[in-house]
Amino acid sequence: MSSSSTSITEPNPLQGEFQPAGPTDLRAPCPALNSLANHGLIARSGRNITAAELTSAVRYLGLGSDVAYLLVGSAFKVHSDDHNNPPPGARWSGLRDPKQFNADGIPVLNLDQVGRPHAIEHDVSLTRQDRLLGDYMDLNPDLYEGLLSSPRDSSTFRVSDLGRFRKLRYDQQKQTNENLDFDKKKHFIACAEVAAISTVFGQGLRRKVPRRYIEAVFGEERLPYDEGWRPRSWKVFLPEVAVFVLGASWYAWPF
């Protein structure tokens, strides 16, 4: 019988129930993936997550099959630091190590690998410090306060607010990080994150995100069910993502 650290007086939380990460759980620099883990919609330990599990979790949030396929497919490639000539099957944007499989031979990923260097993690995050300046994985309280005080209407985050805040963050990091690593590719990845948060958690045609949802997802890494959020019934397909990426980029463009 395998040993378990779970005592009989502390039963495992039910799937879907929120429980913050414990000290040995692995987490990502992504508030959405961390929220999924904190609700048990992917492994709470943050370890040995399969592509099928991640796909079903991001589809549950409301991503369409095309967006989920692209995101998860890219994440589950083996990582290569060689951006121009990666070995067959590997990619710069991949996050797995070579030969990283579970006992059944299925490819798996740990959440901390989502922050691996030379992949998709980037400088100029909304709420994380740049890699060379500090903690690029966890929420930075000062940046989080800055995010919360950034929208023009304090109760709601429009794509324009998030885009403008991205531009402000670029200007800040340009001043403080003399080795800033942020090119057009990283800019569009960062705008895709804005598009993801807006399309999944936003309301109405313009996908305005209520401040209390931002506080739940960023501040507590919790899905904002208590605040009224429910997964979208009409899914987010690539054309919608593209519109929101371009919208965010319009306000965030720093070059």
Of 236, 251, 178, 242, nearest in space to 202 by CA: 236
Site string for ligand HEM, 121-160 (x = CB under 6 A): xx--xxxx--------------------------------
Q: If you search the block for the tokens 């083996």, which residue do you land on?
A: 78
Pick 12 or 141: Cβ nearer ligand HEM: 141
Q: Where are the beta strands (DSSP E) in 125-164?
A: 156-157
CB of 113 to ligand HEM, least distance (A): 9
CB of 177 to ligand HEM, least distance (A): 13
Query: How many Å separate Cα 234 from the centre of its chain?
Result: 21
User: Both tokens of residue 21?
Assistant: 């990460």
Pick 5 or 44: Cβ nearer ligand HEM: 44
| Total number of residues that touch ligand HEM (CB under 6 A) | 23
d(CA 173, CA 177): 5
**200 part of the interface to ligand HEM, by CB under 6 A:** yes
**197 part of the interface to ligand HEM, by CB under 6 A:** yes
Name the CA radius of gyration of the chain, rounded.
Answer: 18
d(CA 239, CA 159): 16
CB of 90 to ligand HEM, least distance (A): 16
User: Both tokens of residue 179?
Assistant: 């080795």
Judged by CB under 6 A, which of 26, 41, 42, 61 binds ligand HEM? 61
CB of 121 to ligand HEM, least distance (A): 4
Instruction: List the interface residues with ligand HEM, window 65-104 (CB under 6 A).
Output: 71-72, 75
User: Both tokens of residue 47?
Assistant: 């370890």
**252 part of the interface to ligand HEM, by CB under 6 A:** no
Alpha helices in the chain (DSSP H): 31-38, 51-61, 65-75, 141-148, 159-176, 184-201, 211-214, 238-252
Q: Where are the beta strands (DSSP E) in 6-136?
A: 49-50, 78-79, 90-91, 108-109
**248 part of the interface to ligand HEM, by CB under 6 A:** no
* Site residues, ligand HEM (CB under 6 A): 29-33, 54, 58, 61, 71-72, 75, 114, 120-122, 125-128, 193, 196-197, 200
